[in-house]
Structure 1
C-alpha cells in the first residue's frame, strides 16, 4: 500500500514527515490538523505542503542545492490547510543552458537556525564563485556534468567519496599517497579529479591556465604555506547540519585534494589546493621550474622541505618536468635572445670578441668544456659551445673545437671580426694564425704566469730583493700593453724594465729612448738591483725569453677577457663543478648563466637617498691580505626567469611538440663509458 498524507483531502505521497513520538507534540499536531487519536493510522504522515518554511531547519540549504532532504525542527507544527511555499524570483535561463540544470535560489531572509549568510565568496584553491554553479555552457574540453550540489569542482551526488552506503566509522580518512610514476600521475589523479577528462586536448588549456575571476595567470598568482590542521578545520564539520563529516585527502607532491561528505544530510564538497592543468598539478610544475631556472639544487631544496615537513614530489618527477617542459623552454628562449644579439652584431663594421673555455673539472679528467664567446664592447655573451672530451679525442683539444664552432656560427650570421682576444693556448694560436685572424692575448693571463715565476725566484737565496719589485713589474705589463700601438714598440717598452730596476732611465732603443715618469733622487739605494747579481740575472732571463717577448708583442692594447672570467663565476652558481650533469642539462644551465649575465651586466651603481654612490671593501684572494674598494651595484634582476616561466606555462605545456623537436635536434655525444 502506497503511503500518503493523512490530512483529509490531501493525497500527496512525496515529502512525508512521520508523526512525532513525543506524546505532547503529537497531540499538538492532531489538534492543529483536526484529527483524533482514533483516526490516527499506524503509518500516518504529513507532507511538506502543510508546513511553513520556518518549520524546516535546512530550508535555505535545500533551496541552494546543498541538501536534498528537508529536516523539521523539534517544535514544528503542521496546518490543516496547504501552506504555499515561499518562492524567490527565478533567474532567467540563458540560451543554450540545459533545462535539467538546477539554479541557485538565494532566500530573501536568513534562516535563524542556520546562523550563517549565503555563501558569496570562493576559496583560492577552487577558484570558483557562486555564479560558476549557475546554468552555463559546458566546455568541449571538459566532458563532465557539474551538479549544483557540488561545492567545489567535479563532484557527483550519488556517492561523492566513492564510499558504500554504510557510513564510515572514522570521521576522517587520510590517503597520504605519493603517486609519482607516469601511470599514476596520468590515471589515478584523473580519477580523483572527476572534473577532468582523460581525453582532454592539451591544445585547449589556454583558458584553464587563468583563474575564473582574474586575468592573472595561474603561475603568477600568490602562494602560501598552509598547515594541514588549518585546512582540516574547514572540512571536519558540515556547514549545513554542523555534524562531523567524512573527509578524505589525496596528495600528489605539493598538491592536496580534499573530499568532504556528510552522511546525515548528504552535503558534498571537493576542494583542490592548486589548479590542475591537464593531469599535472600546476604547483608541482611551477616548483620544478623555479628550482631549475634559479640555478638551485633539488637535493638541497628537498632537505629544506624535509626539515619543515613540507610535502614534495620525488626527484624523478623533477627530472620528468625538466625533460618535458623546462629544458625545451630554456633552449628556445636562449636561441631567441641569441638571434637578436647576432642580428645586432651583423650590422656593425668591425666586431671585437673574446673567447675562453671553462672545464667542468680540473686537469685532464674534464668531461665537458664550455667555450664562451663574448662581444667585448658590450660585454655580452653571444655564443656558448659545449664540447665533450670523447668528441675530440681528449680534454686538451676541447678549447680549439669550441672556438671553431663559435667562429663558424659567427661567420654564418655575417659577422665581420676585427680581432679576437683569448689566452695563450698553443692550439688556439696556431688555428687563428692559419685562418689569418688577428689574435691578441689577454694581459691578465700573462701577468698571472709571470707573477708566479717571480714569486718562486724571490724565495731563492740572494734573490729576496725581487719581492719588492713584483708589483711594479706586473703594473709594467699592463702599461706596456695599453700604451703601445705596434709590436716592436711593446717589446721596446717591455725591456726597459731591466734598466729601470737598476735606476737607469735612458735606453738605447730609439722606439722608447727615455722613461716618461719624473726622475727622482732616492736616499734608499738598497732597493735597486745590480747588474752583476744573481737576482738581476734570473730576472733578465725570465723577462727576455724568446717566448716571453713573442707573447708581449701580442698583448691586447684595448679589451681584455676579465668579463669572461666574471661570467665563469656566474656559471658556478648554475653548474657547480662538484655536480655531474647530463649533456642537455649542462647545456641548459650554461644558457641560464648566460641569460643571467647578459641581463645584469650593465647594472647601474647603487646610491644613497641623497644620490651618493656606494662602495664596498673586498679582500681578493690574489691580493693576499690586501683590500680593495669596489663600487657597489644595484640588486640583480631576473626577468629571464619570468619570461621563461611564461613560456613554459603558456606555450610549451600547451603544445610541447615544436619545442621538444628543437631539443631532440641537438646532437648529444655518447657517454664516456658504455
Structure 2
C-alpha cells in the first residue's frame, strides 16, 4: 500500500518530454486531440491541456509549489549546498543530458533567503550543546590551527578552528578576512583571539591549548597567561627538512641512516616525559646515543632505557670531531629547538585538525572564490560533517575481527603503513537540514534571517579604505 510522504521526501524520476506529453494528447472526456501548452521553471514543468471541442481544461504540475517557489528547485539547491557540490559542475552534467535546470542567480537567491540562514542557525544550536558540556568539565584541552583559502601569504580568508581534543570535536570556527587585520600574516592571531574571547564569554575554563609554533601565537598566549603546548609533528617536520639538507653533503651521508630514528626519538621524548627538564634531558641524550654512548651526565635522564648491547659494526655510529656530528649537534641542541622541545604536547596532538582541513576541501575548494557568508557556511557544514563522523566505530569483518588497509604515504619513501578501517560516514546532518528547511524555514524564514544579520560581514578587498 502506498503511503504519502512530505514533498521533499517524495521519490523523483527523470521523465522524457515526449513520454510526458503523450499523456495529454487526447481529451479524457471526448477522446479527441487537445491543445497542449507546456511551461517550465528550472526543474519544474506545468502543462495546460485544453480541448477545443468540449472545452475541457486542466493544469498539471510536475511538483508542488510553496508560494511561487517550486519545491524541486529549492530542494536541488539545498542538496547542492548541503553536500558541498559545485553548482557549475552539476549544471554541466544537466546540460549534457538536456535536463532542465535553473540559473545560478536562482541558486544564490535560494542560498541567501533560506539555506545560509538555516546553516548558521543549525551550527549555533550544535555549538550551544558542545559548550554546555565543556562548561561542566573541570579542565578543557583544546587545539587550534588556521587554514588559509590559498597557499602562501596572499590568502583572502583564514579560518581558525578550535577543537576539543579530549572528545575530538570541532567547537568553534572563526573566519577572518585579510583586510580586517592588515594582511594575511596576521589572520591566525586574530582568529585565535576571537575564539578564546568567545570561549571565555561562554564560561569555558581552559587547561591548555595545543598549537603550531607560530611566533605571533606564542607571544599572544604568553601575554594572556594561557598554557601552550606544541604539536610534535610540526617540530618534527621542520627538523626533518633540515636533516635532509645535511644528509646531502657527501661527508654527512650517515645522517640519512639516522633520520627515521631521530624522528621516532622526538615523539618518544614528548610521550614519555612528565616535565620540561626531562624532555630536554631525553632529547639531548640523543647526541650521546648516536655516538654509542648510553650513560649521560644529566640526572633527569642518567642512562638510556634500552638493553645494553655491544656493537660489532662501528661504522653505523657517529664519530667525535666529524662534520656530520658537528652539524647534527648544532641543529638538534640549538636554543630554539630546546625551547620548543620543552613545550611539546605529551598526549594530545592536532592531527585531527589536519584531517578536518582536508574535509573542508570537499565543501570549499581552494580553486573557487566564495563570498564571506558563503565561505562561513561551508566551513560550518564541514564542521557538522566532522563532528558527526569523528568518533565513528572501527570496521569489522563478519567474524568480528578489525579490518585494516595499507597506505603508501610519500613521506615513508615507498614504505607502507597499516591503518584501521572505520565504518562508512553518515550524513544525518544533511537530512536534518533538509527537514528543517521545509518544515520550519520555508514557511517562516524571518527568525532565521535575524540570526544571519547579526554576523558582521567585512568589506570586500577592492573597497577603498
TM-score category (smaller protein): over 0.9
The aligned counterpart of 1:281 is: 70
Moved more, 642-651 or 464-473: 642-651
CA distance in 2, matches of 1:218, 1:477: 58
- SS of residue paired to 2:250: coil
The aligned counterpart of 2:98 is: 309
Within the alignment, does 1:518 sit opposite 2:333 as a pair? no
Which of 8, 11, 14 is 1:225 aligned to? Answer: 14
Which of 573, 590, 609 is 2:362 aligned to? Answer: 573
Deviation at 1:215, TM superposition (A): 5.7
Deviation at 1:283, TM superposition (A): 0.2
- SS of residue paired to 1:421: strand
The aligned counterpart of 1:662 is: 451
Structure number with bigger Rg: 1
Within the alignment, does 1:380 sit opposite 2:174 as a pair? no
CA distance in 2, matches of 1:609, 1:228: 47
Which of 216, 236, 247 is 2:36 aligned to? Answer: 247
Query: Cα RMSD (Å) of the superposition?
Result: 1.3
The aligned counterpart of 1:422 is: 211
CA distance in 1, matches of 2:439, 2:225: 47
Superposition map of 1:2-401 within 5 A: 216-401=5-190
Which of 630, 634, 657 is 2:419 aligned to? Answer: 630
The aligned counterpart of 2:437 is: 648
* Structure 2: stretches of 5+ with no match in the other structure: none
Which of 294, 311, 332 is 1:505 aligned to? Answer: 294
- SS of residue paired to 2:457: coil
Which of 368, 371, 382 is 1:593 aligned to? Answer: 382
Within the alignment, does 1:462 sit opposite 2:251 as a pair? yes
TM-score w.r.t. structure 2 length? 0.98
CA distance in 1, matches of 2:148, 2:411: 21
* Structure 1: stretches of 5+ with no match in the other structure: 1-120, 122-212
- SS of residue paired to 2:142: strand
CA distance in 2, matches of 1:557, 1:617: 27
Moved more, 273-282 or 604-613: 604-613
CA distance in 2, matches of 1:460, 1:243: 92
Which of 547, 550, 553 is 2:336 aligned to? Answer: 547
Deviation at 1:363, TM superposition (A): 1.3
Deviation at 1:650, TM superposition (A): 1.4
CA distance in 1, matches of 2:238, 2:12: 52
Deviation at 1:240, TM superposition (A): 2.7
- SS of residue paired to 2:176: strand
The aligned counterpart of 1:607 is: 396
CA distance in 1, matches of 2:392, 2:133: 21
CA distance in 2, matches of 1:524, 1:262: 100
Deviation at 1:612, TM superposition (A): 2.2
- SS of residue paired to 1:496: helix
CA distance in 2, matches of 1:537, 1:463: 10
Within the alignment, does 1:449 sit opposite 2:268 as a pair? no
CA distance in 2, matches of 1:668, 1:305: 33
- SS of residue paired to 2:108: helix
The aligned counterpart of 2:192 is: 403
Deviation at 1:451, TM superposition (A): 0.4
Superposition map of 1:460-499 within 5 A: 460-499=249-288
CA distance in 1, matches of 2:18, 2:311: 81
- SS of residue paired to 1:588: helix
The number of residues matched between the two structures is 463
CA distance in 1, matches of 2:4, 2:446: 26
Higher helix share: 2
Deviation at 1:280, TM superposition (A): 0.4
Deviation at 1:398, TM superposition (A): 0.7
Deviation at 1:437, TM superposition (A): 1.0
Deviation readout 1:163-221 (Å, 9 max, x if unpaired): xxxxxxxxxxxxxxxxxxxxxxxxxxxxxxxxxxxxxxxxxxxxxxxxxx966321111
CA distance in 2, matches of 1:657, 1:506: 72
Deviation at 1:241, TM superposition (A): 2.6
Deviation readout 1:62-89 (Å, 9 max, x if unpaired): xxxxxxxxxxxxxxxxxxxxxxxxxxxx
The aligned counterpart of 1:149 is: none
The aligned counterpart of 1:179 is: none
CA distance in 1, matches of 2:96, 2:415: 40
CA distance in 1, matches of 2:64, 2:312: 81
The aligned counterpart of 1:209 is: none
The aligned counterpart of 1:135 is: none
Deviation at 1:247, TM superposition (A): 0.8
Higher relative contact order (CA 8 A, sep 6+): 2
Deviation readout 1:70-121 (Å, 9 max, x if unpaired): xxxxxxxxxxxxxxxxxxxxxxxxxxxxxxxxxxxxxxxxxxxxxxxxxxx9
CA distance in 2, matches of 1:261, 1:626: 73
Deviation at 1:519, TM superposition (A): 2.1
CA distance in 1, matches of 2:248, 2:204: 49
CA distance in 1, matches of 2:311, 2:183: 55
CA distance in 2, matches of 1:487, 1:631: 33
CA distance in 2, matches of 1:426, 1:494: 22
CA distance in 1, matches of 2:224, 2:415: 43
TM-score w.r.t. structure 1 length? 0.68
CA distance in 2, matches of 1:557, 1:633: 26
